[in-house]
Structure 1
Amino acid sequence: MADLVIAHGLVVNAFGTQTAHVVVDGGRVTAVVDAAEPVPAAARVIDAAGRAVIPGGVDGHCHVAQVTGRFRTLDDFAVTSTAALWGGTTTILDFGIPRDASETPLDAAKNKLALASAARCDVALHGSVIAWDETVPAQLEELAGLGIRSVKMYMTNRGTTIADNDTVLRVMREMVRLDGLTYIHAEHDAIVVDCTQAHAEAGTIGIGHLHETRPELAEEASVREVIAMAEYTGAPVYFVHQSTPGAVDLVAEARSRGFDIHSETCPHYLVLDDGVYSSRYPEWFACCPPMRSPETVAALRERFADGSIHTVSSDHSCYDLTQKRERTDDVRQMPHGLPGVETRMPVTFTALAEAAAAASDRDVLERFVEVFSAAPARINALPGKGAIAPGYDADLVVFDPAEARTVDGGALHMGTDFSPFDGRELRGWPQVVVSGGRVVLDRDGFHDPGPVGRFVARLGYRESAAASGGAPGTVPHPDGRTTARGEFAVVVGSHAGEGE
């Protein structure tokens, strides 16, 4: 008898959809049984008839217990992983970013590894390099040995986390050697600094002017420069939080020439525009890059609908309104970042359903699974994640695509007192969440599993891509195999179970 069966659901993968029963045992999916067959026997059966069943979300961009300058986010791994599960995300990727010059990239990552022992869901990590020295190659090699196969670098944030071009180029070469992935925050520092200084001199440096201090040109100029370095070194690159169609188009053009470059955006760039900085609470929207014009948002949503954007991540940063309001008079002194790990699922699904209104329901669901789970798992080479198929981790979400709820920032679980989506009606909220085979959310509420989250060691970037043949829709299999588009596995079962 299996541990759990999710019965009669519309099982949606990025590579196919079928009405089926999902059988779970020992924390893994053991079978996907055609719904025409009897429900297999299990200790617990959850009837998902009329609802979608998708792989648990993979959020490739979270900042947990992050220290930047004099500010520290107010969460820890227990809080953020709990909020992730409430939001249908079962794996988060955090960053080991050095607090200052006294902390090495290796020390920063090991510190996050220790803190992650409190996590309720699975965790993987990115490293980060701020300044190059002769010890960096050995540190990156040790990180790769730990299963930390990506490094983030900032092209801006002068005086804190910025990496100069020499550092970026050298790290890219090391990541090629170590079969890793380079993550990039792309904003042209000289343009940002000059524009911000001009606004300071004009007395227009408060939060209401944030979007004017960091122009679209700064992002796109930086993307061009980084792509050139990627071409020169042959390094795979992942651009975080792209907010303009121009930045996405630059990535698409590079990909058309055969380069391994990826575009990520965030939910807030898909549904919010720069009018928020004229709202009653502009401090709710302090983030970098800032929100863009309505015209830019509309064009970004077109790229989202046509598949040019590969992943949607939260860029979760858990500051509260006290921290945000301390220096609203000067954006240079404010903490930037938004809480979003819990709302990533409904915001992304709602935005995609609206942007792709002409597409079929099945196409929308499969595209949603791609950006929410499958592509983050595939690009980050996370074995066992991103698909519902035998042998994969039993990370599952049941939801009704038609169910709408209104966001109440005060009722969320992210450890802060606001949400940038407060008052918005969204579709695509999780009703049942299974993480590692455990039912952590159902109609009876949240069931805290305790600190059971595992650290997930990642595969090499090209190793994983070669194993999958580079085919769209493929995701790393825990035993080295892959599940690919058109290879949706169905195992016929035999025994009926009880409904819930």
Structure 2
Amino acid sequence: MTLDLDLLITNAEIVNADGRVHGHIGITDGRITTLLAQDVDQLPSAARTIDAGGKLVIPGGVDAHCHVEQITGDYKSLDTFRTATTAALHGGTTTIIDFGIPADRGETPIAALRNKLDLIEGARCDVALHGSVLAWDATVPAQLDEMAEIGVRSVKLYTTNRGTTMADEDTILRVMKEMVRLDGLTYLHCEHDAIVVDQTETCANEGLLAIGHLPRSRPELSEDASVREMIAVAEHTGAPVYLVHQTTPAAVRAAAEARARGLRVFSETCPHYLLLDESVYDSDSPEQFACCPPMRPEATVRGLGAEVALGNVHTIASDHSCYDLAQKRERCHDMRRMPHGLPGVETRMPAAYTAVVTRGGLGVERFVELFATAPARINGLRTKGVIAVGYDADLVLFDPTETRRVDGAALHQGSDFSPFGGLDLTGWPSTVVSGGRVVLDEGRFTDPGPVGRFRERSGFSES
């Protein structure tokens, strides 16, 4: 055999979402160019060979929900594309999808998106983008056309957060119709705004605005009601929709029932909703868990895990939003004014693996589906999420028994804490290959430089 390779990974247990095999992986020019059976007589030559030694090798992770260098209200998240993607690679994620969300009503959707395209220049791994619309006007269809031409085939809409990111019902309906025209996907943050506002006002009247009272201000009902309402709008418009960070089994079941009726509805959850419950708000540092939606009661967390086991959840994303403790604590006495969101791009792999495999008892194949394959497929990243000839050489080697305790201050996320700080998590990457480059080698990181590419996405019907 005379095939010369840039990189050869031998003696690997190769795990895809649809099964596993023992074999060898050959890589040239950033792509997987050959897969060989374990018992092949002769291996090709390669510039470098890594002996996997029986470790699991899975596709590099695709995190479809990250917020990098995001301005919301008075706050800006702290990491850059350099730090966020460096953290992603440390955590086995080789592609992130960020959002071009207008900083305020004066910034147009296309301007927000182009700003993110400029910032991506510092990325260490591949980056795709979602657009976002806050308010409808006559220019929006042309802006969505321009996004699609750039290769951005999804738009995020918020049903809450009055005065910042919220889109009204007319805007949501009209944008969904435009996304149908453009063969795109509508991302939806679902919390019923009127319920959230009323509950928050009740908390204020009772003097209960400290962050420890967050679950009361954003109850499960607000999510469940908004999910049902948005599914109704999707049914009316015919739009495919992706429901971000679902936290309740009722919301996930509503999406599953919609799919049974023929609707194209996808459910995402996050590791913190599978591993943590609302008791964290009784801790000494409840500000470390300020996110929307909040953590739910223990019984709800168990029910959400059951929905994952049933196959009703499609993806696990981080919803990475990088603030530090100083920002969190500045206004933690008033949950209306403090920044919400958690750093999580680096811990997504071990946290999800712990929830799905170690605690949930599901197979590694199901974890791969949630971590890499489904987010790539649903979002039109056609060369990601699978170990197969022709796909990008994005790979993660790991020992499925290795457990580490999380030290938030020692991570690379641009923050000084993690919501999983002090927890023992299993499923940490030991070696990461991104675009054919070995960036993490048995725990030693080599900065590849600003090699991350903006990745265009195919239309939804082509995915």
TM interval, shorter chain, is over 0.9
Q: CA deviation at 1:349?
A: 0.3
Count matched residues.
459
What is aligned with 1:4?
7
For the 8 Å contact 2:185–2:240, the answer to whether it is kept is yes
Q: Deviations over 1:397-426 (max 9, x none)?
A: 000111111111111000110001011111
Cα distance, 1:196 vs. partner? 0.4
Indicate whether 1:430 and 2:429 are aligned: yes
Report if aligned partners of 2:358, 2:426 keep a CA contact under 8 Å in 1: no
1:457 aligned residue? 456
Task: Give, in whole Å, the separation in 2 of the partners of 1:30 and 1:67.
Answer: 41
Q: Supply the AA of the counterpart residue of 1:31.
A: T
- Distance, in Å, in 2 between the alignment partners of 1:40 and 1:252 is 47
Taking the TM superposition and a 5 Å limit, the aligned residue runs for 1:362-401 are 364-401=363-400
Aligned equivalents of 1:192, 1:6: Cα separation in 2: 51
State the Cα RMSD in Å: 0.8
Deviation at 1:192, TM superposition (A): 0.1
2:11 partner SS: strand
- Counterpart CA distance in 1 for 2:107 and 2:382 is 30
> 1:423 & 1:9 partners in 2: Cα distance?
32
Determine if contact 1:127/1:143 at 8 Å carries over to the other structure: yes
Residue 353 of structure 1 deviates from its aligned partner by: 1.4
Q: Shift of the alpha carbon at 1:355?
A: 4.4
Residues 319, 335 of structure 1: 8 Å contact kept? yes
- Post-superposition shift, 1:443? 2.1
> 1: CA distance between counterparts of 2:400 and 2:223?
34
What residue ranges of structure 1 are gaps of 5+ in the alignment? 465-500
Tell me: CA distance 1:251–1:144, structure 2 relative to 1, closer, same or farther (3 Å).
Answer: same
Structure 2 residue aligned with 1:281:
285
Q: 1:320 aligned to 2:324?
A: yes
Match of 1:294 among 277, 295, 298: 298
Q: Indicate the residue corresponding to 1:481 in structure 2.
A: none
Pick from 174, 185, 188 the counterpart of residue 170 of structure 1: 174
Shift of 1:50: 2.2
Show the 5 A alignment for 1:133-148.
133-148=137-152
Q: Which residue of 2 aligns with 1:32?
A: 35
User: CA separation in 2, counterparts of 1:35 and 1:412?
Assistant: 36
1:416-448, CA deviations, whole angstroms, 9 ceiling, x for partnerless residues?
Answer: 100010111111100000000000001261000
Q: Distance in 1 between matches of 2:59 and 2:355?
A: 19
Q: Determine the structure 2 residue equivalent to 1:339.
A: 343
Q: For residues 116 and 40 of structure 1, what CA distance do their matches in structure 2 show?
A: 36
* Residue 421, structure 1, aligned to residue 424, structure 2: no
Equivalent pairs: percent with the same residue?
Answer: 63
Counterpart residue type for residue 250 of structure 2 = G
State the match for 1:113 in structure 2.
Answer: 117
For residues 66-118 of structure 1, give each alpha carbon's deviation from its aligned partner in whole angstroms, at most 9, with x where no partner exists.
00011000111000000000000000000000001111000000000000011
Q: 2:440 matched to 1:441?
A: yes
Unaligned ranges ≥5, structure 2: none
- Would the aligned equivalents of 1:302 and 1:355 in 2 still touch at CA under 8 Å? no
Aligned mates of 1:39, 1:413 — CA distance in 2: 37
Q: Say if 2:431 and 2:443, in contact at 8 Å, map to a contact too.
A: no
Contact 1:180 1:461 in 2 (8 A): yes
State the alpha-carbon separation in 2 of the partners of residues 20 and 39 from structure 1. Answer: 11
Partner of 1:80: 84
Which letter does structure 2 place at the counterpart of 1:273? Answer: D
Write the distance in 2 (CA, Å) between the matches of 1:389 and 1:444: 25
Letter matched to residue 401 of structure 1: P
Q: CA deviation at 1:280?
A: 1.1
Per-residue CA deviation, residues 213-272 of structure 1 (Å, 9 max, x unaligned), is 100000000000000000000000000000000000000000011111000000000000
SS of the equivalent of 1:331 reads: coil
Question: 1:354: Cα distance to partner?
Answer: 3.7
Any idea what the Cα deviations from partners look like across 1:265-323, whole Å, max 9, x if unmatched? 00000000000000011000000000000000011011112211100000000000000
Secondary structure at the counterpart of residue 304 of structure 2: helix
How much has 1:356 moved relative to structure 2? Answer: 3.4
Is the partner of 1:209 in helix, strand or coil? Answer: helix
The alignment's TM-score, normalised by the length of structure 1, stands at 0.91
Deviations 1:115-147 (A, max 9, x none): 001100000000000000000000000000000
